[in-house]
Structure 1
Amino acid sequence: MDFTQFKSHIRQLKTKPLGGLTSQFKLVPEIRIKISEETIKKSNPRKAAVFCLFYPNSEGEMFFLLTKRASYKGTHSAQISFPGGKVDDVDKDLEDTALRELEEEVGIHRNTITLIKQMSDTYIPPSNFMVTPFIGFSDEKPEFIINEEVANTIEVSLKNLLDDSLVSSIEMNTSYMKNIEVPCFKFNGYIVWGATAMILSEIKDLIKES
């Protein structure tokens, strides 16, 4: 899908119902599905927001941005994610959080972004965050200026997101599951799993159905 085709689908993307947990749970292990909404509510999760940015390359082919987190002593060290983070006192709302983090982490100013839609909230058990994703686009490829929270940027073509052959699985050990087969995307040599994969699964379904 090129940039012209993508923009022609914006109205449908804005009005199409979200897939919610049905879409998200395509990319989670069975143990994650068993975490009930009641359990999540009782955990009183912290709020965060992320931004999935689409943009054209020099040939007009659509891409979106992921980042590899810097290594640190924490739950999500060196993982693949969207630009984003926890709500700050200065933020007016979750959209403001996502746009602020996008600028802080990869240097993309909100004035260059057209917001398309807020996606479904996604719960992250290990860090007890409820993440609200947003999707939007830039008319041209941004210049990425990363901060200390980001090891490097990862540019993935929309074509690859829509390619079912790039959905796979890997055996993993995490803080809440051991030797579990985890569904994932495989992009550019990177394994994308967890909350980021859940969000991408819903975005993938939204675009395919639009």
Structure 2
Amino acid sequence: MSAREELMQVVDNHRAAVERNERIPMPSDWTFGRVDDETARHAAVLILFGHLDNVPAVSHDSTVSDELDVLLLERARTLRKHPGQIAFPGGGVDDTDRDVTHTALREAVEETGLDPAGVDVLGRLQLTELPVTNFLVTPVIGWWTKPSPVEAVDVNESRTVFRAPVADLLNPENRRSVRVERDGHTHFSPGFVVGDRVVWGFTAIVLDRLFNEAGWTIPWEPAEEITPPFSNRH
């Protein structure tokens, strides 16, 4: 199957759970409290895959094409929450949004300037808990049929926007366990080292699960640990 077909299969596998409004908790070694159902906000992120334009993958012999990429952004380092972290485009659901898919696309347009007409929405994954900020997040999977230029629209929110080669994310040499110390406890998340950037926390957890479900993961060594930048705030 093609990467697009494999992603569609993942979406199909989630469909029944999505319809039942089931949720996925954070891994037991990355749990900062619990989501408060009475006050939790809903949010959505766009996980947008496409084909690389001018940034070839360094890694080869992967489980995916060298040309496959995913759209990510680096959050501004001055933000109060998740400063400097690598993230998917996305944000909180507004009352005027038709549904969470609309939320994900709207936020992606506001943050990256992409043309939503070129995005084919494949579907949604299960709600994912984000206790540290008390959000329930819906990942929306998209395929970039007609890629458009992207950039950090508001530098107060995003430092940069970039397309990461998936083959490089999957390369075992770029995989790490990210260790965070907080309130006397040690927490771990999957990590992806891409150049001088580290994808960790919520974004890395969602990518790791998605890669596993798509059958793309290449065995790697979780014992190799690093600490992330800006780890004092999550």
- TM-score interval (norm. to shorter): 0.7 to 0.9
Whether contact under 8 Å (2:73, 2:158) holds in the other structure is: yes
Residue of structure 2 equivalent to 1:121: 127
Q: Distance in 1 between matches of 2:203 and 2:8?
A: 24
Q: Distance in 1 between matches of 2:5 and 2:131?
A: 37
Aligned counterpart for 2:179 among listed residues 171, 189, 200: 171
Counterpart check, 1:136 vs 2:133: no
Q: Distance in 2 between matches of 1:192 and 1:206?
A: 19
> Residues 139 and 131 (structure 1 numbering): CA distance in 2 closer, same or farther, change over 3 Å?
same
Aligned runs of 1:96-107 on 2, under 5 Å?
A: 96-107=102-113
Taking structure 2 as the reference length, the TM-score comes to 0.72
> Residues 8 and 129 (structure 1 numbering): CA distance in 2 closer, same or farther, change over 3 Å?
closer
Whether contact under 8 Å (2:71, 2:161) holds in the other structure is: yes
Shift of residue 75 of structure 1? 1.6
Residue of structure 1 equivalent to 2:164: 156
Residue of structure 2 equivalent to 1:30: 29
Whether contact under 8 Å (1:43, 1:128) holds in the other structure is: no
Q: Distance in 1 between matches of 2:92 and 2:37?
A: 19
Taking structure 1 as the reference length, the TM-score comes to 0.79
Aligned runs of 1:187-206 on 2, under 5 Å?
A: 187-206=194-213
Counterpart check, 1:49 vs 2:44: yes
Residues paired across the two proteins, number: 197
Residue of structure 2 equivalent to 1:15: 12
Identity across the alignment (%): 27
Residue of structure 2 equivalent to 1:92: 98
Q: Distance in 1 between matches of 2:4 and 2:133?
A: 36
SS at match of 1:104: helix
> Residues 193 and 143 (structure 1 numbering): CA distance in 2 closer, same or farther, change over 3 Å?
same
Higher helix share: 1
Q: Deviation string for 1:89-112 (max 9, x for gaps)? A: 220111110010011100112211
Q: Distance in 2 between matches of 1:152 and 1:179?
A: 29
Amino acid across the alignment from 2:49: F
Shift of residue 134 of structure 1? 0.7
- Uncovered stretches (5+) of structure 1, i.e. residues with no partner: none
Amino acid across the alignment from 1:53: L
Shift of residue 185 of structure 1? 1.9
SS at match of 1:184: strand
Shift of residue 31 of structure 1? 5.0
